[in-house]
Amino acid sequence: MRAQTVARRTAFEVASFKPAPPDTSPTAEAKKMVRDTLNYMAPIGVLPILHGHLSVRGHSLLSLVASAYPVRPNQVSGPSWLANLMFDIEAKLPEGVPNRDANEALQCLLEERLGLRLHQERKAVAGYGLVRETAVRLKPADPPFTKRPSGESAETASGRSESPADAATRVVAAAPVPAVSRPPGMYLQSTTLARFADILAQQLHAFVEDRTGLSGYYEIAFPLRRPESPDDSVDHRVSQALATLGLKLQKTKIDLPLLIIDQISKQPSDN
C-alpha cells in the first residue's frame, strides 16, 4: 500500500496577534472609514508584507478573513461583530518562504488563534456586468507596480514590487482631483478594468464584474459628480460618468464564492 503525501501548509515562524487598542481620538471614525475603503479597494488578497514581515494595525476581523482566503469582505458571511473587532498582527514568515505564501500563513494563524472554521459555497447573486457601450475612450497606461521614488524596490505578497499600501493608494487614488487639472471625480493613474469594476462595486454597494473583454492597464479620469438633489442617485451618476468612457452597467447574475464562517472566537489564544 502506497503512503499518501499530505501537503504541509505554510505557517508563520513567529506571530503576535492581539486586539488593537481603542482609538479614542476625535478622528477615529474618519480614519476607520478611510482604512476600510482602502482595504476594500486594494487588490484582492494583497497583504502589507515586506521582506517576509507582516505588519497589520487596526484591521477588522472581517478584513483579515477576507484577505487570508482571499475574497472581498462582502463575500464573507459570519457574525455581525466581525466588522467591529480590530486586531494588530506582527508576524514573520520562515526564511526562504516567498511573500505569496503569506495568505496561507494567515489562514493558519486565524485557525490556530481564533479557532476559525469555515466552508465555501458558490452562489449566483444579483449584480452588474461592466460592458462596452460604444467605442471605449480609455488611455493605455504602464503597470503601477514599479520601483518607488527612492529607488528601493519593495516586495508584495504577490511577488511584485512596491508596498501594498503605496500601490493601493496610487492604483485606486479615489480622492477628488483638483478642478484646475481635471473634472471633479476619481482619477485612476493605472488600473485594470477588473480593478475598476471593484471600485464601482464599492460606490454602488453591489457586486460588479468586468465583462468588457479588455486586458491591460488604463489611465481613467472618471467624472463622478456630486449629487445635485436627494433624488440624484449614485446609480444614475455612475451611469452618466461611465457613458463618457464608452462603458455601461448591465444588471446580471454573478457566480461568486462565498465564505460561510461556522466557528470563530472573539478573543485570540495566547501569543
What φ, ψ does residue 191 adopt, rounded to 5°? -155, 160
C-alpha closest to that of 38 among 137, 163, 138, 155: 163
| Between 11 and 156, residue with greater pLDDT | 11
| Between 166 and 60, residue with greater pLDDT | 60
- In the block, cell 494583497 appears at 46
The predicted-structure confidence for 136-193, as pLDDT tens digits, reads as follows: 999 999 887 544 444 444 444 444 434 444 343 333 333 333 333 345 578 888 889 9
| Between 14 and 47, residue with greater pLDDT | 14
DSSP code for 15 = E
Percent of the chain with pLDDT over 70: 77
| Angstrom distance (rounded) from CA 29 to CA 40 | 16
Is the pLDDT assigned to residue 244 strictly greater than 90? yes
Contacts of 8 (CB under 8 A, 6+ apart): none
Residue 86: beta bridge partners?
60
The overall average pLDDT reported for the chain is 80
DSSP 184-203: SSEEEEEE-HHHHHHHHHHH
The predicted-structure confidence for 78-97, as pLDDT tens digits, reads as follows: 999 998 899 999 999 999 99
Lowest-pLDDT range of 6-10, 11-15, 204-208, 244-248: 6-10
Task: Report pLDDT for 149.
Answer: 46
Q: Which three cell numbers stand for residue 214?
A: 479588455
Q: How confident is the model at residue 40 (pLDDT cuts 50, 70, 90)?
A: low
Pairing of strands 49-50, 53-60: antiparallel
Indicate the pTM of the whole model: 0.64
Instruction: Let me know: does 10 contact 112? Beta carbons within 8 Å.
Output: no
Is the pLDDT assigned to residue 31 strictly greater than 60? yes
Give the helix ranges, DSSP H, for the chain. 28-41, 61-68, 102-114, 164-172, 193-204, 234-243
Instruction: Let me know: does 261 contact 79? Beta carbons within 8 Å.
Output: yes
The predicted-structure confidence for 109-128, as pLDDT tens digits, reads as follows: 999 999 999 999 998 989 99
Pairing of strands 218-222, 186-191: antiparallel
